[in-house]
Amino acid sequence: MEAKDKIIVPLDVSGVGKATELVNLLSPYVGFFKIGLEFIWSSIAELILFPEPEAIALLKMIRTLATAIGGLHCFIDAKLADIPNTVKGASVAVSRMGVRMFNVHASAGKEAILQAVANKRNSLVLGVTVLTSIDGDECVSIFGEEPRDKVIEFATMLVDAEADGVICSPQELEALRVFDPGVLLRVTPGVRPKWAAIGDQKRVMTPGEAIKAGADYLVIGRPITKPPPEIGGPVEAAKKIAEEIVQALERR
């Protein structure tokens, strides 16, 4: 696996045209593209609300985008969190598209995770633990535990349910060393190069730090899609991050 293949770029945009531009521009320089809730629901709303000719044109654009990404380079960030039977039905639908990865909230419970795993086809099922926008105090108010302890608890459940990976802040990666290597893929949002703004993330690391801590894949959005002017454009930002990953892998 090349360093660039460890980079997942979220397509957190509301327009299909902009998403397609990013995919065409960045495909040679990153490994995956993440389709999240903003994009999914914006597209559904437009398909329903647009006049029929515009809706048909939009649908064609969505299909073109799907072809440009390709199933093996697509991560559907569905964050499934519902009763087991509903998670089952959603997993059946998502996996039919042949995507590489999709996710379910670990907080939905073990039975829901089991249903996702049982109906994943050839996709990988990742478990969302504690969102990187949540700090320690808020985590305690929601889950009754600090992020590190809750992530370990969720990860243990994911292992028991035979999920393929865990999504957590890079700050919890060290704690995941209690699991045997290769048991869970480590996918980490909350990754920010030193030259990028932190934004709404609370528990962050640089790409190099996250890789050295054990991350398998890094979810990096705005530092690539909207980099500081001094870095250049998205391609230059992606290349710079890939170089940092290479250096970290050499030290790991």
Place of tokens 């790991």: 252
Predicted local confidence at residue 199, as pLDDT? 66
The catalytic residue among 79, 88, 120, 150 is: 79
Distance CA 45, CA 18 (A): 17
Q: For the chain, what is the radius of gyration of the CA atoms?
A: 18
Q: What is the pLDDT of residue 204?
A: 81
Is 4 designated active site?
no
Q: Outline where DSSP puts E strands in the chain.
A: 7-10, 32-35, 74-80, 101-105, 124-128, 165-167, 185-188, 217-219
pLDDT at position 12? 85
51-69: pLDDT as tens digits: 999 999 999 999 999 999 9
> What pLDDT was estimated at residue 47?
96
Q: Which residues of the chain have pLDDT under 50?
A: none
Residue 232 CB contacts under 8 Å (≥ 6 apart), including other chains: none
Report domain extents, the chain: 3-251
The whole-number pLDDT of residue 129 equals: 97
* Fold observed for domain 3-251: TIM Barrel (3.20.20)
pTM of the model: 0.94
pLDDT at 202: 63
pLDDT in tens, 121-156: 999 999 999 998 899 999 999 999 999 999 999 999
